Chain A
Amino acid sequence: MSYSQSNTNVRMDRRFDWVGPPDSVSKIRKIMLRRVDNESELEKQYRIAREELNQWNSDFWANHNTLFDTQKIHYVEKRKKELGPLEHVSANDLSDFYRDFLNERHSALMSYNKEWYTRNLALIWPALKVNIVRFMRLLKR
């Protein structure tokens, strides 16, 4: 791996699969799959599909987590106003918030879940084909 310690853009070896740090909002790690020079159309589509699935996951969770955090802040502020200066927000109030948030996001989460399952499982078969192609290539050498 060739990299420098300077504060500029650096190069990472494209011959390997890379995994990045978790995104601060969506908590999903970015991935970069390896490419060979003479990669076939099949391999390219698989690589792009997998990277895209990961990115789509990251976008969904970034949106969802921001919603959670902002709604929690609003809820806590609202409760604080209702309770007055002497009392503090209790765990039961937060329980109400957790429940309401989940119910609100139910349909969005269900459609996300369905799409995630179908896309993830649909990638297994192309992954198998790509691995066979790579294995054949290795044998030919």
Chain B
Amino acid sequence: MLSRQILQCPRLGYCASTSQAVFHTNVQNNSLPRVKPLEEEMPAKSFRKTVRSPSDILDLTSSSKKKNIDIIVTDTHLSQWYKMEPKSLASDYLQLCKSKLSMFVASTAACGVLMAPVPVALAPLAACTAGTFLLSSAANACNQLLEAPYDAQMRRTQGRVLVVHRFSPLHAFTFAGVTGMTGISLLAYFGNPLTAALGALNWFIYAGVYTPMKRAHIGCTWAGAVVGAIPPLMGYSAATGYLDPASFCLAAILFSWQFPHFNGLSWNLRGDYSRAGYRVMCVTNERLCRITSIRHSLALLGLCSIAAPLTGLTTMTFAIDSLPVNAYLVYLSYKFYKAPDAKNSRKLFFYSLLHLPLCMLLMGISNYGRNDDEKISISDKMQNAVDKITKYIK
């Protein structure tokens, strides 16, 4: 996918995003409709009053001579001080591991297991789902550990457990270590070493490559898309023990899906992202942001309807019934490309959340390779499809 983009867009290279060759937004901006910015983006009128009142300053002078066990704090903010302890350990742990996201990732790994051309065995399926969930939790805990001050700056993330100091960094680090090691061992024991290696690699890429890169370079979104593409590979290899073109097709579908998803999400938060120092596409190169959404939506169309049956991932049924699902995604990406505003980006993001489960469901029911009588050659498959369509038309 990446090489296709580099060929199609000779201006895009991995040079610093300040280079004029990548931008040329002076020309493009005039063709965009003039959209009003969001209310919260415009500077507030009463900005001038940022003088900090003396009551904000902590007074510690009186405790130097006396031996006492108390700290002095002014009363005005007393009710806002609270003890550094988790309110409810379970719910705080779930927040630390970003449980909804981890469950979504675990479901993509389960899809990988189910799409494998072998009979479904319960042990690899359960172990893979649990192992991926645990590894994703570990990666997310590492991410939150490294990003606590940045999360404090953005409205979306300012309530996270490490921002409000519910536990110490050591606690979060231990949590990450324990869940990560448990995940890797589950995958190695019930799956196979390849799956465990992929899991460990994914943890490393998310916590060690994607998280720092978010601040350094616009290519972070591509690294993040790779992180999203590896769980189906993990599932597939847990079931079969190897990786073949069908598994890579599945991974590519997930890779391409990340772009409309992330671009739709991040567009509305550009102000917050810029202030917090994230070098994401929607801030540093908004034309690229819109273009990649539509390019990858078109790529999804090609992947689902051409590559999936060709590599033997699914039957022709999926190629046909995924067409309307992907076509609507292309349509929303196109609208976002033409008129990038709050409404279109939100629609794109929410539809992407529906699009992936729908695709995975359709893929699951059009699974190919498990039964021997399905194994016919590609030209025969195409002939059968053409016959079916002509019969339907008649």
Residues of A within 8 A of B (CB): 2-22, 24-25, 27-33, 37, 57, 61, 64-66, 68-69, 72-73, 76, 87-92, 94-96, 98-99, 101-103, 105-106, 109-110, 113, 116-117, 120, 123-124, 127-128, 131
Contact = CB atoms under 8 A, between A and B. Distances in A.
Contacts of A128: 170
Contact of B170 (A68, A72, A102, A124): A124
Contacts of B4: none
B82 A18 contact: yes
B73 A8 contact: no
B152 A28 contact: yes
B50 interface: yes
B32 interface: yes
B26 to A, nearest CB: 9
B354 to A, nearest CB: 26
Contacts of B35: 90-92
B274 A102 contact: yes
Nearest to A30: B58
Judged by DSSP, the binding face of A is mixed
Interface string B68-98: 1111111111101111110000000000000
Contacts of B58: 30
Given A17-B83, A99-B283, A8 B271 contact: no
A28 B147 CA distance: 12
Contacts of A90: 34-37
Contacts of B50: 24-25, 66
A110 B16 CA distance: 14
A66 B168 CA distance: 29
B285 interface: yes
Contacts of A33: 84
B83 A99 contact: no
B69 A10 contact: no
Interface stretch (B6-14, B39-47, B123-131, B358-366): B39-47
B84 A21 contact: no
Contact of B152 (A9, A22, A32): A22
B75 A8 contact: yes
A6 B75 contact: yes
Contacts of B270: 94-95, 98
A12 to B, nearest CB: 5
Contacts of B75: 3-10
B144 to A, nearest CB: 12
Contacts, number: 174
B284 interface: yes
A76 B81 contact: no
Given A21-B81, A61-B152, A99-B284, 4 more contacts: A10-B75, A89-B37, A91-B41, A91-B340
Interface string B274-297: 110101000111100000000000
A105 B73 CA distance: 35
B215 to A, nearest CB: 5
B158 A19 contact: no
Contacts of B274: 68, 98-99, 101-102
A12 B62 CA distance: 13
B149 A19 contact: no
Contacts of A22: 152, 158
29 contacts: A2-B70, A9-B72, A10-B78, A12-B71, A12-B72, A12-B73, A12-B81, A14-B69, A16-B83, A19-B82, A20-B77, A21-B77, A22-B152, A27-B153, A27-B158, A30-B58, A32-B71, A61-B149, A68-B275, A87-B34, A90-B34, A95-B270, A103-B18, A113-B215, A113-B216, A120-B145, A124-B169, A124-B173, A127-B170
A20 B80 CA distance: 6
Contacts of B21: none
A102 B277 contact: yes
A113 B80 CA distance: 29
B70 A11 contact: yes
A95 B286 contact: yes
B163 interface: yes
A73 B41 CA distance: 11
Nearest to A105: B277
A4 B247 CA distance: 65
Interface string B1-34: 0000000000000000110000001000100101
